[in-house]
Amino acid sequence: WIPVTERLPEVYRDKYGELIPFLVCLKDTDYPFRAFFDGKNWGDGWYRNDVIAWMPLPKPYKMDGKDGDENASR
């Protein structure tokens, strides 16, 4: 986790200009969730969020094989 008091994301848009989602923790909450940073504020798509720490999302899960093989890549 990276406290927002230490630093904010330097890259927050993808190559298409879309905001990149991050995993964040908010003040007074017990669980992390997804939010976006626009270079100035954090938000979840509806509201501004009081983010205290953030981290990049992990890479998405991918299955081995072309048609949903049961052997997952690790």
User: Considering the chain, what is the average pLDDT of its residues?
Assistant: 90
* Contact (Cβ atoms closer than 8 angstroms) between residue 9 and residue 3: no
For residue 67, name the pLDDT band (cuts at 50, 70, 90). low
For residue 73, name the pLDDT band (cuts at 50, 70, 90). low
pLDDT at 33: 94
> What token pair was written down for 36?
């976006």
pLDDT at 64: 81
Strands laid side by side in the 42-43 sheet: 2-3, 51-56, 21-26, 33-37, 42-43
Rounded distance between C-alpha atoms, residue 23 and residue 54, angstroms: 6
Over residues 55-67, mean pLDDT? 85
